[in-house]
Chains A and B, each alone.
Chain A
Amino acid sequence: MVKKIKKLFEKKQASLLQQIIFDMPINYYLFLTVTLFSIGVIGVLTRRNAIIVFMCIELMLNAVNLLLVAFSQMHQAAALAIQPIASNVGAEAQLFVFFIMVVAAAEVSVGLAIIVMMYRNIHSVDINFLNRLKH
């Protein structure tokens, strides 16, 4: 697989890259996203720096995005195998993922703004200082 990809970059054959992506079993994507998601969870749980926690949340979000796209592709391939006419069946998520990215970008800007405000008020970005909400 790795050899194939190297060869691909050497020959700059886009269609082959496409072929490989199509051929790659879904399991690889699953392992990758689970790993990414777990890194995100562990980061959120263990780190106290608000910015790192925030990054980890983004990591989880993107892991899910990746999973979504991977499943979408698998779905489309399966549909094409049954009915070999060019169709968009299962391809919606490819588009949908862009919306998620846009929303995530908006969310990031809000989140960062909150962190900036937090820093201005308590001169720290340690989330454990923010425990006044319980009152």
Chain B
Amino acid sequence: MAKFIYLVPLFPLIGFLINGLGRNYLSKTISGIIGTASVLASFVVSILIFLEVKVAGFSAVEVKLFDFINTAGIDIPFSFQVDQLSVLFLLIITGVGTLIHLYSTAYMHEEEPNDFARYFAYLNLFVFSMLLLVLGANYVIMFIGWEGVGLCSYLLIGFWFKNGDYNNAAKKAFVMNRIGDLGFLLAVFWIIGQFGSTSFAVIFPVASKVSPAILTGITLLMFVGAMGKSAQIPLYTWLPDAMAGPTPVSALIHAATMVTAGIYMIARSNILYTLAPTTQEVVAIIGLSTSILAATIALQQNDIKKVLAYSTVSQLGLMFLGLGVGAYVGAVFHVMTHAFFKALLFLGAGSVIHAMHHEQDMRNMGGLKKFLPITHLTFLIGCIAIAGIPPFSGFFSKDEILMAVYGHNKLFYFLATGSALLTAFYMFRMYALTFHGTFRGSHEQEHHLHESPSVMTIPLGVLALLAIVAGFIGIPELFAKESHWLEHYLHPIFAASFALQTAHETPASSEWMLMGTTTVLIIGIVLFAMSKFKKYTPSQEELTGLPKVLENKWYVDELYEIIINKPVRAIAKFFSSIFERYVVDGAVNGVGKLVQYSSRQLRWLQSGQVGSYILIMVVATIVFFIIQLLGK
């Protein structure tokens, strides 16, 4: 079955071509069906491949499609990697992707048919690029997908391109991603220089023979790429702005799949990172600080999607923390559970926004519980899952990362737990503001409140189910022996890294205690948040002090404006008004003027006087003779 791997990205590509080329001719129903069916077909093929791969003892297969770059000394085939990690990501991408495509058919129904088809074309192109990213058997193919998802992210954030703010958000996302991509590209060049190949199968076995300094450089550059794509400090500010795109896009790209590309890359290159402890430390610190910073910002956001966006940044930070301390399985596990519950939360928020007629401010919501029962229930499940209350999926994956952090560094553990508590607080603040209390919107909005159609609630239901049960594939060894199915499944990928790591065995008793304490604290925080915001009434008072700083996102955007944008604009202004006008234009016009002037002067030579022509001829001949003589 593995040899049919090319079908997985092929279906979305075909869907993209049909929808993209026929967008002026297809009806909304047809383009919706094509868009959804193409991803569904990929999902079916992925499941068939998964059934083959999950058998114990399956070894990675590299399926070569054709030669991509084959010149003297370097051979980069266009080939796909079929192994446990890539197939797991295939399932997440195509599975969640199918649900979100289905959801989109209802969410986007107000669009014109050609915009509707354009939307599905972009979405299919995104799925294709993302599949290319995770399937690539070398860094170059991965980079193609990496750039493709960046492009689709840009196109979909700016989907409503008639709004200037949305365009600016799209450009911001694209530029910030480009900064990261430069790092990744340099890493690829360095890898080619160092190993003479970019194939995973060639690089990873010989990585231990390379000096740690070089590996540190390569992995740091790769991490710069991951920072851009996965929204980590200092390149995270694009993700909250990316909420300008349609909500299903936020769910698919900016929560479930694209932003986890950085985690996939590091998990894929785990051996390189394990051999470069300095980079791992950097990854852990950046991940931890991003997690805390984004969580604090999320406390004071009022836009329902902004809260989710900062929550995503925070959760991604947690995943990087896991990667940094060597908990690769935990990080991948959290990617998976996060994909389910965060896609669920985004789609739930989309359902709310849909019902509220594009109102996103939570201060104008409240009491939606009775109007949107299904959305309310699934949203609550998502909140419980992300808060990490057992036995929902978020608990298992978060706990696995936290335990690994505890074994690595106690201080990091307490900070990460603090971030998890903040997560529980702001999620339930959002939940309480949206669904409890009294309705605070306008009467017109209240009149139109309605539950979303079943096409939207079915994906919510499926994702809610997954958000509940997905954790059971990774039950800690603490509860029962051999219960962590995911760890056994992924073991071949991380075997080399695990062999190098020194195991920090935390005693079972303290593990129980930490787990219990965290859970109790989280439940306490949840109850506190619920009681605090259940009876929320908007106050007219200006926020002061720390809440104001948090509401303004620590003024990071303003800081970037001052330290980067302003100097760049000043330089640009200098070049456009001084350098361009006087130096470049001066040179161009000067050449023209010189030619004109000299030709006007030379014109007088052509007097029409035969005598003067002959005189010039004779004088010139004599001059040549003199030069000839002097030359000797």
On A, residues with C-beta under 8 Å from B are 41, 44-45, 48, 127-128, 130-135
Contacts and interface: CB of A to CB of B under 8 A. Distances in A.
B606 A45 contact: no
Contacts of B615: 45
B607 to A, nearest CB: 7
Contact of B610 (A41, A127, A135): A127
Contacts, number: 24
B214 interface: no
A135 B607 CA distance: 10
Contacts of B606: 134
A133 B608 CA distance: 6
Contacts of A134: 606-608
B618 A130 contact: no
Nearest to A131: B608
Interface residues of B, number: 9
A45 B610 CA distance: 9
B206 interface: no
A110 B138 CA distance: 83
A128 B610 contact: yes
Contacts of B73: none
Contacts of B631: none
A1 B608 CA distance: 49
A59 to B, nearest CB: 14
B309 to A, nearest CB: 77
B564 interface: no
Contact of B618 (A45, A128, A131): A45
Interface in B600-632: 606-611, 614-615, 618
B614 A130 contact: no
A12 to B, nearest CB: 44
A48 B611 contact: yes
12 contacts: A41-B618, A44-B614, A45-B615, A127-B610, A127-B611, A128-B611, A130-B608, A131-B608, A131-B609, A134-B606, A134-B608, A135-B608
A131 B608 CA distance: 4
Contacts of B609: 128, 131
B614 A45 contact: yes
Interface string B579-614: 000000000000000000000000000111111001
Contacts of A44: 614
Contacts of A131: 607-610
A133 B613 CA distance: 12
Nearest to B608: A131
A127 B394 CA distance: 106
Given A134-B608, A135-B608, 17 more contacts: A41-B618, A45-B611, A45-B615, A45-B618, A48-B611, A127-B610, A127-B611, A128-B609, A128-B611, A130-B608, A130-B610, A131-B607, A131-B608, A131-B609, A132-B608, A134-B606, A134-B607
A133 B609 CA distance: 9
Contacts of B614: 44-45
A130 B612 CA distance: 13
A131 B610 CA distance: 7
A50 to B, nearest CB: 9
A128 B614 CA distance: 12
Contacts of A135: 608
A132 B610 CA distance: 11
A45 B613 CA distance: 9
Nearest to B615: A45
Contacts of A41: 618
A80 B615 CA distance: 43
A7 B611 CA distance: 46
Contacts of A48: 611
A19 B391 CA distance: 134
A134 B618 CA distance: 20
Contacts of A128: 609-611
6 tightest Cβ-Cβ pairs between the two chains A and B: A131-B608, A134-B608, A127-B610, A134-B606, A44-B614, A45-B615
Contacts of A132: 608
A132 B606 CA distance: 11
Nearest to A134: B608
Nearest to A130: B610
A114 to B, nearest CB: 13
B363 to A, nearest CB: 85
A44 B618 CA distance: 10
Contacts of B608: 130-135
A127 to B, nearest CB: 5
A124 B318 CA distance: 105
A135 B603 CA distance: 11
Contacts of A127: 610-611
A129 to B, nearest CB: 10
A128 B611 CA distance: 8
Nearest to B606: A134
A57 to B, nearest CB: 10
Nearest to A132: B608
A134 B602 CA distance: 13
A51 to B, nearest CB: 14
A45 B607 CA distance: 15
Contacts of A133: 608
A39 to B, nearest CB: 13
B126 to A, nearest CB: 70
B186 to A, nearest CB: 64
Contacts of B618: 41, 45
A44 B611 CA distance: 8
B385 to A, nearest CB: 92
A130 B608 CA distance: 7
A45 B618 CA distance: 9
A101 to B, nearest CB: 24
